[in-house]
Amino acid sequence: MSDVIVVDYGAGNTRSVCAALTHLGHTSAVSGDPRDIANAELLILPGVGSARSAMEHLTLTGAAAALRARFDEQRPMLGICLGMQLAMQSSEEDGGVEGLGLLEGHVRRLTTGRVPRLGWAMVDPWDDAYYFAHSYACESSDAIATSDSITAAVQHGSFLGVQFHPEKSGDAGLSFLDQCLSRA
């Protein structure tokens, strides 16, 4: 059985996440099945696509309920980009979307710099550059890292979320994923 489940919610780039996991010596599978979400050693909620269609898909398939149950049981979960934003209470995207509400905080449209914010940027206090591609960002008291004063990572209970794409962040990203996997 695969040790990592990458949650499928109908859009997005799950292939690159799986490729990075393979590179690190882990087996992974893409699934939206609530049972797989419940049983996985580590769960990754990847990100690309729109918040509304992602939440609708997760709710309809029962995946949203499985994600909340998994969080309540304190089992490890990693959210990437939109996957991190979905864990918040709400998002401004698509005219307003209710999130999974695992973490306290809200997702707002970026108002400074070029939007979308694209490219490699330093993350404080991790002192490494990671690849970002986003137009929205989290405002949360659970922030543990920032990049240009924008939330780069959040953590609460068993949920760790990152705004950047570790699967697209070269060696820095692979090291980050490796650490997540060894802690899971």
State which residue, 6 or 66, has the beta carbon closest to another protein: 6
CA distances from 127 to 49, 91, 146 (A): 28, 28, 10
Q: Which of 88, 41, 91, 38 is nearest to 63 (CA)?
A: 38
Under rule CB under 8 A, which residues in 88-117 are in contact with another protein?
113-117
165 given a catalytic annotation: yes
Record the tokens describing residue 63, joined without a space. Answer: 């995946």
- Binder of another protein out of 165, 176, 181, 184 (CB under 8 A): 165
Record the tokens describing residue 99, joined without a space. Answer: 């999130």
In this structure, what is the dihedral angle of CA atoms 17, 22, 25, 26, given to the nearest 10 degrees? 60
Find the shortest distance in angstroms from Cβ 183 to another protein. 19
State which residue, 46 or 142, has the beta carbon closest to another protein: 46
- Binder of another protein out of 124, 170, 179, 183 (CB under 8 A): 170
CA distances from 83 to 1, 58, 79, 86 (A): 23, 11, 4, 5
Sole window of 30-38, 57-65, 95-103, 161-169 interacting with another protein (rule: CB under 8 A):
161-169
Q: How far apart are CA 81 and CA 42, in angstroms?
A: 17
- Binder of another protein out of 119, 124, 179, 183 (CB under 8 A): 119
Q: How far apart are CA 75 and CA 176, in angstroms?
A: 19
- Binder of another protein out of 15, 35, 109, 183 (CB under 8 A): 15
What residues are labeled active site?
A: 81, 165, 167
User: Which residues contact another protein (rule: CB under 8 A)?
Assistant: 11-13, 15-16, 19-20, 22-23, 48-50, 82, 113-122, 128-129, 131-135, 148, 165, 167-175
